[in-house]
Structure 1
């Protein structure tokens, strides 16, 4: 049974994804406002991803011991601390026009909070939504994240980076207040053996009879499956890895798919949107906002696209378009005529629209469709960790690599990676489509 409270939970979770988008888009505005050199630009971008890796890996341990809601509160607290450190570091940074210890620490902590928030948020929502909403929710997460990114680019037009940091701290505090109203996942309560809390949580969300009953030391779920309560607390976390030992090939395929997702170059464009716009002879702030707005709108469109078309075909077509777009940009980026600058704007728009409708949401959705529920938390955590790790290397070397070679060479490499991803998908990804059309 779908209730208004369940829709409220979805709104809060999408708002949480919005806060992650704010974190992703912050690098672009900041690096141009402070005029970091290429080394510090790489470090500043890398710190976010390093924190994200730690937060993602830490998430399931915290969830297992403290639950989803407390873990989310903790992650929001870290994020607020990080943003406030960035805010209070501004005076010293403006004096030196280079990073300070406080700014570096603030960026690392915001990354830690973002990684923890993102992973916990995804795990939590997939434990409480109906199975028919799984694909829809995966697409809506992308909408929330891209909304945060475009908000970041918009604020950068009018505000300095330190003021933006303060605004973000207030926004995350508000989302934390909304999270306080959420119930714990009834699935987690059952795993912890707390059936009374599970019953209350399930009734709050769905307003109907609970699908599990206790009979001695056994738990009957949906009237026909019995479980030993003493085993439930470990099955979804520590036990997942042992189950996945029988599916290592499938898991490796997902990890490679996530890797190619980052190698499309989208993460570099998001982190350094205004720099990429300058490479194309465009006004950085205006171009960044237009690109972010197109990314957000196309993410909304993707909610319908990924539920209608074959996922393999979307990945194949998307990879080809991304490869051709990168190749065209790499061949023309040195031309700065006004007419060519307009074409570079078209390149960015085509690129973000294509990514949002293919390689943006689909790798994680394919991962969720490929494994049983008992492996869900492990797959989510592992997939996001791989994404953070590859993103770390891509964003860390972006600016230094351009200095060592050129913009044309780097985007030519992105084009080659997109072509390789197309070949990999063709041979290794099954032709699948959303099984849920609700």
Structure 2
């Protein structure tokens, strides 16, 4: 009996996808010659790439939210008469909202599907930006920032999971890394547009990614693995066929996914007790560990307060330097996207963490030595330049591995049965760590710039050991093969 028959008989308790497009794709597969429409999606990489380009609007929104506070601090504080503490609270509230969104993200994505989850995430983002753009006091600012953070928390989990579940194994690394590439593009756009636009106009521009994302979701298929898990086998096969191309034989992949979901409970409500199963401990520890270490290395503290760091290093045009760092980050993340399916995940993580450790050590030494020389000496200027070079090298190293790959590995290794709850826990841990670093970075930098970067160096050295000992290589493996390796 089919899934729909079960529903009609009152015996099916599973949910239909929030955005249902299965019938449209089945019709397309039968009538692929009409107007030549299927020619565009006969090549699997083109079809999957189109899906990734649409959902990547979510991470662009993520990055734009993260980067918004940097170029708007002075003008926004002046117009609304905000104190430093009030603006600091405004900046950090996106992390608080993201933690709430992270808690809900996994269950929402399991309950109504990946596309429905992104639709839910887009709405509070739009409302949040409108609240900020029309704000007359700090209350609307805070409400808008919390709503943005909530949407971003859902996006940060759902997008990498969706990409991992639709991508063929030979492209999954590069396409998965496009998630972080989009985040860096969003940050750079916020920095760049912030040079020319007022903070209200910049907030209005922040609406655009989600305004384009919402209609775009109606033209891409739901995750075939989620459809299979929910028992919607007709829609599952139709979705997989359009992703791989109508001329592609998907029999082997269909059978592999069916075998994988056969032993997985279809229920969408997962309990914390499910996380206590011994065979889930290792993938859960790796997923949470990488996402926490990604933040504890201090990268967000460096990015968010790069203007202050450049000023303390003696760089006069600090805002332009910040935009330059954003552009460098985009370029380095693009290189990682190209490398990840060629070199593998582990080697990039190790090289990235080691490069970050060396770069941060250089910055720490430069700031320490600046305290022993006169400000008008040539050595003081040299140490300032050295610290800026170290910061730039750290950003490059981070973008090559520790930026994109932890999200990719999380989406690959978490077992389907616990992916919703475990993904929420991992995403929550990441956002809590991000909030902790963002809040403490100004205090630590005020205490001792050299000491702060020394602490971050120690975290990076620990990360190298963590990756070398615990993180498996997932390059070239299907998601089902990865799950089998943990058994």
Structure-1-length-normalised TM-score = 0.84
Task: Give per-residue Cα distances to partners, 1:397-426, cap 9 Å, x unaligned.
Answer: 2223434x1323322222232233334444
Q: Is the alpha carbon distance of 1:31 and 1:421 closer, same or farther for their aligned partners in structure 2, counting shifts above 3 Å?
A: same
1:344 CA displacement = 3.3
Q: Is the alpha carbon distance of 1:342 and 1:243 closer, same or farther for their aligned partners in structure 2, counting shifts above 3 Å?
A: same
Q: Is the alpha carbon distance of 1:236 and 1:365 closer, same or farther for their aligned partners in structure 2, counting shifts above 3 Å?
A: farther
Q: Unmatched 5+ residue regions in structure 2?
A: 1-42, 479-487
- Please state if 1:432 is matched with 2:465: no
Map residues 274-285 of structure 1 onto 2, 5 A cutoff.
274-282=307-315, 283-285=317-319
> 464, 470, 478: which one pairs with 1:422?
464
> 177, 187, 207: which one pairs with 1:169?
207
Q: Is the alpha carbon distance of 1:167 and 1:137 closer, same or farther for their aligned partners in structure 2, counting shifts above 3 Å?
A: same
Task: Give per-residue Cα distances to partners, 1:195-220, cap 9 Å, x unaligned.
Answer: 444344344434448968xxxxxxx9
Equivalent residue number for residue 7 of structure 2: none
1:371 CA displacement = 4.7
Q: State how far apart, in whole Å, the 2-side matches of 1:71 and 1:249 are.
A: 27
Equivalent residue number for residue 227 of structure 2: 189
- Please state if 1:83 is matched with 2:135: no
Q: State how far apart, in whole Å, the 2-side matches of 1:340 and 1:33 are.
A: 31
1:359 CA displacement = 1.5
SS across alignment from 2:231? coil
Q: State how far apart, in whole Å, the 1-side matches of 2:113 and 2:463 are.
A: 37
Q: CA contact under 8 A between 1:38 and 1:400: conserved in structure 2?
A: no
Q: State how far apart, in whole Å, the 1-side matches of 2:349 and 2:149 are.
A: 29
> 8, 17, 22: which one pairs with 2:59?
17
- Please state if 1:356 is matched with 2:389: no
- Please state if 1:273 is matched with 2:306: yes
Equivalent residue number for residue 288 of structure 2: 255
SS across alignment from 2:206? helix
Structure-2-length-normalised TM-score = 0.76
> 168, 177, 186: which one pairs with 1:148?
186
CA RMSD of aligned residues (A): 3.2
Q: Is the alpha carbon distance of 1:379 and 1:132 closer, same or farther for their aligned partners in structure 2, counting shifts above 3 Å?
A: farther
Q: State how far apart, in whole Å, the 2-side matches of 1:357 and 1:240 are.
A: 36
Q: Unmatched 5+ residue regions in structure 1?
A: 94-99, 213-219
Q: State how far apart, in whole Å, the 2-side matches of 1:395 and 1:75 are.
A: 23
SS across alignment from 1:184? coil
1:395 CA displacement = 0.6
Equivalent residue number for residue 345 of structure 1: 388
SS across alignment from 1:432? coil
Equivalent residue number for residue 324 of structure 2: 290
> 376, 380, 386: which one pairs with 2:429?
386
Q: State how far apart, in whole Å, the 2-side matches of 1:302 and 1:166 are.
A: 31
Q: CA contact under 8 A between 2:225 and 2:257: conserved in structure 1?
A: no
1:30 CA displacement = 2.7
Q: Is the alpha carbon distance of 1:419 and 1:33 closer, same or farther for their aligned partners in structure 2, counting shifts above 3 Å?
A: farther
Q: Is the alpha carbon distance of 1:129 and 1:411 closer, same or farther for their aligned partners in structure 2, counting shifts above 3 Å?
A: same
Q: CA contact under 8 A between 1:28 and 1:270: conserved in structure 2?
A: no
Map residues 7-406 of structure 1 onto 2, 5 A cutoff.
7-35=49-77, 37-89=83-135, 92-93=136-137, 100-208=138-246, 221=255, 225=259, 233-234=266-267, 241-242=274-275, 244-282=277-315, 283-309=317-343, 311-333=345-367, 334=370, 337-403=380-446, 405-406=447-448
Q: Is the alpha carbon distance of 1:241 and 1:28 closer, same or farther for their aligned partners in structure 2, counting shifts above 3 Å?
A: farther
SS across alignment from 1:158? coil
Greater Cα offset, 287-296 or 7-16: 7-16
Greater Cα offset, 264-273 or 323-332: 323-332
Aligned residues: 420
Q: State how far apart, in whole Å, the 2-side matches of 1:434 and 1:46 are.
A: 36
Q: State how far apart, in whole Å, the 1-side matches of 2:149 and 2:336 are.
A: 27
